[in-house]
């Protein structure tokens, strides 16, 4: 007798992967419109790099050509969207490939404890900083240099400012988030926790003395927090699973981001904090499991 | 409203909802399971409808005829062509006033009628809950896909459910009972509330339409969380749960004296052209039932006894038993290929007893807390088979 379940939900792994890619579309479209053709080449190169890496890995390990999965597409696109518009196309391709390589190296989809495109970005930015072509006056950097940026809140919300290709338009990101929430693919707890704690910290300890709310808004809208909290912290492979885990993860990322920003890591703070929290959470889980095993063995 | 954390809301597929219950014609022969009890009849014996086939009255003949075979714990009765519907002389209604009846009176009468709708006979439930039950819950939830038997019972037998509830309350000395009905079944909720308007000790409570509210443990915990937060003396053990079908069947047995010889079942699925809610004599061959509902054999991939989330595969050669509440024939459309776990955590969110099914599966272990509801397997986008973690069916059945 079979005890298995005979009917299943319509959602499949493919549909979940597709949902994340669909949620990226508004950011992709706005990035292309705002930054022009070179940004399209950057995103395409990252995607191709990721796909090629997947195909080559399949060829060398299994001796056959394997079509890239939608998760590979998501990794490639996410990496492309985290670059600046004038980044070298070759670097974008290399980063896309590195993202997929990291996923495979750390156990594959569903096992990888970190959001691979962010790790790839951190590595690439450390190894080849001169190929990134970072814009000179990012709103967040202006704020931390002691001035108030000239960009209005409307510019920041719409995405009429400079920053990473996928992170400039708050509206595009919120449309993506809304789609994920309607489809129940992403969970709002981590996103809300990250945003709420970030805003609270920026408000209580404002960068620009006496203008706490303004500082908080600029830090939230121009600092890649939204992009990372929606796509990196909601990524099903590396996201926390329990209620407390989700809240704690978002809050820890926000605190670390705040500390890093205050200590000079302005543009990279979000990426460093998310990766650090994911690594710490993974290690804590391992230690907890081992401790439990030892406890039961005794 | 009663609710619980986790659970799923599967597509309803309730095509036999609001349809009339059809009485299946008496079959030419029935093959009745004896539930491991000592068989009290011999080959060649003449039996009538309601005659006991076992020593402890767990199985009764559902047709009038002759015992033609006794094998593998089953008794086959071939129906008499002339007088198929003759009823046993032992089918005598309960002859005492309910207010004067003791636990022993009600228990022995119930035990002689072989009422069973799940894993446990009703008289066993009475025995288990004799001294400990303080609250009785009558569960009318039917949240599993396709199934409409409880829904149709509730629609047509509200009074019987209430009287059945009163019988159990009397037997166990329970002062408080509640009939729980899904909030989406507004009509039944309203009618039941009107019926019980003047009955102070039976409440009508709405419950969410989440699966697995059919599970007694899930219902008990939801009830405790909502209504018994202050009273620490009441635990899940102090709550007895029966289904609305059990309550209705108990009252009918008391009224007519006839043991449980028919079963209301849902026959549905995309390989069934004429889905029905049928009242079928116990022991009827599944192939006859399926044929009656225009089952398309060429289209079907699997026949499931019970609900399609936690039921079991069965063969058309088997027969309707007391536990059978549905026969669902599904096509190849319902065939799923498994992929690797992507750690999405949906199984964990859906688990009504707050387990981490993916972790248990990875460790190839099972938890005694698992209630085998199948929520994790249903919700899993990777279509993983979680049956390995729910091998403790017996443990949870008695909970």
Q: What is chain A's mean pLDDT, rounded?
A: 88
Å between A163 CA and nearest CA of chain B: 30
Cβ(A227)–Cβ(A171) below 8 Å = no
Bridge partners, B272 (sequence order)? B295
By Cβ distance, the residue of A8, A109, A241 closest to B342 is A109
Å between A137 CA and nearest CA of chain B: 39
Q: Which residue in chain B has the smallest CA separation from A185?
A: B344
**Mean pLDDT of the region B77-102:** 84
The whole-number pLDDT of residue B398 equals 35
Are residues B330 and A239, on separate chains, in Cβ contact within 8 Å?
no
Write out chain A residues lying below 8 Å of B304, CB-based: 6
Are residues B387 and A236, on separate chains, in Cβ contact within 8 Å?
no
Structure-token match 């019970």, residue found: B306
Interface residue ranges in chain A relative to chain B, Cβ cutoff 8 Å: 1-13, 15-16, 71, 108-111, 236-237, 239, 241-242
By Cβ distance, the residue of A1, A8, A242 closest to B336 is A8
Write out chain B residues lying below 8 Å of A16, CB-based: 342, 344, 381
Least Cα distance to B115 among B65, B163, B57 occurs for B57
Are residues B309 and A7, on separate chains, in Cβ contact within 8 Å?
yes
C-alpha to C-alpha distance for A142 and B173, rounded to whole angstroms: 77
Cβ(B320)–Cβ(B263) below 8 Å = yes
By Cβ distance, the residue of B309, B312, B348 closest to A241 is B348
Q: Which residue has the higher pLDDT, B296 or B253?
A: B253
Write out chain B residues lying below 8 Å of A281, CB-based: none
**Mean pLDDT of the region B42-57:** 91
By Cβ distance, the residue of B313, B339, B378 closest to A8 is B378
Half-sphere exposure of A286 (CA within 13 A, CB side): 8
Predicted confidence band at B230 (pLDDT cuts at 50, 70, 90)? low
Query: Is 70 exceeded by the pLDDT of residue B232?
Result: no
Q: Which residue in chain B has the smallest CA separation from A109?
A: B342
Across the beta sheet with B65-71, what order do the strands follow?
B29-33, B74-79, B65-71, B46-47
Q: Around Cβ B177, how many Cβ atoms within 10 Å?
A: 23
The whole-number pLDDT of residue B110 equals 93
Least Cα distance to B121 among B56, B186, B215 occurs for B56
B85: which residues sit within 8 A by CB, 6+ positions away? B26, B49, B64
3-class DSSP assignment, residue B329 = strand
Q: How far is CA B378 from CA A1, B30, B148, B268, B388, in A?
A: 18, 35, 20, 19, 15
The whole-number pLDDT of residue B231 equals 63
Cβ(A261)–Cβ(A272) below 8 Å = no
**What secondary structure does DSSP assign to B239-269, as a single string?**
EEEEEHHHHHHHHHHHHH---S-EEEEEEES
C-alpha to C-alpha distance for A194 and A250, rounded to whole angstroms: 4
pLDDT tens digits along B309-334: 888 888 888 999 999 999 999 887 77
* Dihedral over alpha carbons A127, A128, A129, A133 (to 10 degrees): -160
pLDDT tens digits along B364-397: 777 888 888 899 999 999 988 887 776 544 333 3
Strands (E), B173-227: 176-182, 202-207
Q: Around Cβ B317, how many Cβ atoms within 10 Å?
A: 9
Å between A10 CA and nearest CA of chain B: 8
**Cα distance between the two ends of chain A:** 37
- Distance, C-alpha B201 to centroid of its chain: 25
Q: Around Cβ A23, how many Cβ atoms within 10 Å?
A: 25
**Mean pLDDT of the region B201-215:** 92
**Mean pLDDT of the region A224-237:** 87
Are residues A242 and B348, on separate chains, in Cβ contact within 8 Å?
yes
Query: Is 70 exceeded by the pLDDT of residue A4?
Result: no
Predicted confidence band at B229 (pLDDT cuts at 50, 70, 90)? low
Write out chain B residues lying below 8 Å of A109, CB-based: 340, 342
**What secondary structure does DSSP assign to A44-81, as a single string?**
HHHHHHHHHHHHHHHHHHHSS--PPPHHHHHHHHHHHH
For a pLDDT cut of 90, what percent of chain B falls above it?
Answer: 56
Are residues A236 and B311, on separate chains, in Cβ contact within 8 Å?
no
3-class DSSP assignment, residue B193 = helix
Q: Could you say which DSSP state residue B67 is in?
A: E
The tokens describing B122, both together, are 């009703």
pLDDT tens digits along A257-292: 999 988 888 888 999 999 999 999 999 988 988 888
Are residues A110 and B312, on separate chains, in Cβ contact within 8 Å?
no
Are residues A6 and B348, on separate chains, in Cβ contact within 8 Å?
no
Q: Around Cβ A260, how many Cβ atoms within 10 Å?
A: 18
Are residues B302 and A6, on separate chains, in Cβ contact within 8 Å?
yes
The whole-number pLDDT of residue B392 equals 47
Bridge partners, B39 (sequence order)? B54
Interface test with B, best of A7, A111, A114 (most B CBs within 10 A): A7
The tokens describing A295, both together, are 């406890």
pLDDT tens digits along B19-39: 888 999 889 899 999 998 889
3-class DSSP assignment, residue A130 = helix
Q: What is chain B's mean pLDDT, rounded?
A: 88
The tokens describing B91, both together, are 């089918």
Do you find a cis peptide bond into B181, omega within 30 degrees of 0? no
The whole-number pLDDT of residue B399 equals 35
B284: which residues sit within 8 A by CB, 6+ positions away? B24, B27, B30, B62, B319, B320
Structure-token match 């080559």, residue found: A56
Are residues B356 and A7, on separate chains, in Cβ contact within 8 Å?
no
Are residues B343 and A236, on separate chains, in Cβ contact within 8 Å?
yes
Å between A3 CA and nearest CA of chain B: 6
Å between B357 CA and nearest CA of chain A: 12
Interface test with A, best of B343, B359, B370 (most A CBs within 10 A): B343
pTM for this model (two decimals): 0.85
Phi-psi region of B2 (alpha: psi -120 to 50; beta: other; left: phi over 0): beta
Cβ(B209)–Cβ(B203) below 8 Å = no
The whole-number pLDDT of residue B92 equals 86
C-alpha to C-alpha distance for B38 and B33, rounded to whole angstroms: 11
**Cα–Cα–Cα angle for A116, A117, A121, nearest 5°?**
115
Q: Which residue in chain A has the smallest CA separation from B339?
A: A13
**Mean pLDDT of the region A124-146:** 81
**Mean pLDDT of the region A118-125:** 93
Least Cα distance to A21 among A89, A84, A78 occurs for A78
């Amino acid at each position: 007798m079979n005890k298995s379940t005979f009917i299943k939900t319509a959602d499949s792994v493919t549909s979940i992967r597709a949902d994340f890619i669909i949620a990226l579309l508004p950011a992709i479209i706005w990035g292309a419109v705002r930054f022009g053709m070179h940004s399209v080449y950057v995103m395409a190169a990252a995607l191709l790099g990721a796909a090629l890496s997947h195909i080559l890995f399949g060829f060398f390990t299994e001796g056959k050509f394997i079509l890239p999965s939608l998760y590979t597409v998501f990794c490639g696109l996410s990496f492309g969207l985290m670059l600046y518009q004038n980044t070298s196309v070759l670097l974008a391709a290399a980063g896309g490939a590195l993202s997929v390589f990291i996923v495979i190296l750390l156990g594959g989809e569903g096992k990888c404890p970190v959001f691979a495109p962010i790790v790839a970005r951190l590595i690439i930015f450390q190894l080849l900083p001169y190929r990134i072509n970072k814009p000179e006056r990012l709103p967040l950097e202006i704020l931390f240099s002691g001035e108030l940026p000239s960009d209005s809140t409307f510019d920041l919300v719409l995405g009429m400012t400079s920053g990473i290709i996928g992170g400039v338009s708050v509206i595009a990101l919120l449309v993506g988030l809304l789609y994920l929430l309607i489809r129940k693919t992403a969970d709002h707890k981590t996103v809300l926790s990250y945003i709420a704690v970030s805003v609270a910290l920026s408000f209580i300890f404002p960068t620009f003395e006496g203008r706490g709310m303004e500082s908080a808004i600029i830090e939230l809208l121009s600092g890649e927090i939204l992009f990372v909290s929606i796509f990196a912290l909601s990524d099903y492979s590396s996201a926390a699973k329990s209620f407390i885990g989700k809240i704690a993860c978002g809050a820890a990322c926000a605190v670390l981001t705040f500390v890093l920003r205050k200590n000079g890591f302005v543009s990279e703070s979000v990426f460093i904090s998310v990766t650090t929290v994911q690594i710490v959470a993974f290690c804590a889980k391992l230690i907890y499991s081992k401790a439990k095993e030892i406890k039961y063995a005794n | 409203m009663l609710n619980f954390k986790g659970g799923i809301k599967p597509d309803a597929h309730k095509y036999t909802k609001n349809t009339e219950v059809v009485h299946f014609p008496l079959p030419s022969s029935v093959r009745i399971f004896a539930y491991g009890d000592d068989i009290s009849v011999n080959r060649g014996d003449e039996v009538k409808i309601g005659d006991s086939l076992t020593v402890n009255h767990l199985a009764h003949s559902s047709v009038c005829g002759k015992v033609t075979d006794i094998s593998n714990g089953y008794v086959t009765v071939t129906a008499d062509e002339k007088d198929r519907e003759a009823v046993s002389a032992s089918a005598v209604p309960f002859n005492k006033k309910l207010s004067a009846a003791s636990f022993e009176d009600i228990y022995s009468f119930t035990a002689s009628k072989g009422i069973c709708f799940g894993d446990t006979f009703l008289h066993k439930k009475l025995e288990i809950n004799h001294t400990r039950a303080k609250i009785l819950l009558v569960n009318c939830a039917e949240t599993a896909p396709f199934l409409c038997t409880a829904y149709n019972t509730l629609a047509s037998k509200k009074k019987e459910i209430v009287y059945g509830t009163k019988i159990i309350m009397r037997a166990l000395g329970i002062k408080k009972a509640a009939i729980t009905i899904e909030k989406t079944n507004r009509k039944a909720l309203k009618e039941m509330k009107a019926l019980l308007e003047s009955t102070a000790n039976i409440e009508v409570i709405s419950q969410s339409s989440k699966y697995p509210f059919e599970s007694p443990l899930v219902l008990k915990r939801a009830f405790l969380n909502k209504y018994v937060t202050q009273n620490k003396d009441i635990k899940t053990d102090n709550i007895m749960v029966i289904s609305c079908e059990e309550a209705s069947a108990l009252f009918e047995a008391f009224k007519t004296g006839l043991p449980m010889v028919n079963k209301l079942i849902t026959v549905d699925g995309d390989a069934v052209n004429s889905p029905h809610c049928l009242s079928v004599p116990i022991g009827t061959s599944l192939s006859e039932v399926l044929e009656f509902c225009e089952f398309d054999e060429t289209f079907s991939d699997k026949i499931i006894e019970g609900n399609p989330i936690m039921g079991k595969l069965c063969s058309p050669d088997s027969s309707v038993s007391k536990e059978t509440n549905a026969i669902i024939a599904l096509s190849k459309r319902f065939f799923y290929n498994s992929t690797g776990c992507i750690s999405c955590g949906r199984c964990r969110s859906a688990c009504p007893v707050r387990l981490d099914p993916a972790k248990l599966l990875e460790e190839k272990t099972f938890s005694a807390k698992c209630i085998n509801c199948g929520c994790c397997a249903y919700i899993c986008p990777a279509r993983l088979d979680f049956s390995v973690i729910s091998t403790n069916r017996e443990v949870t059945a008695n909970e």
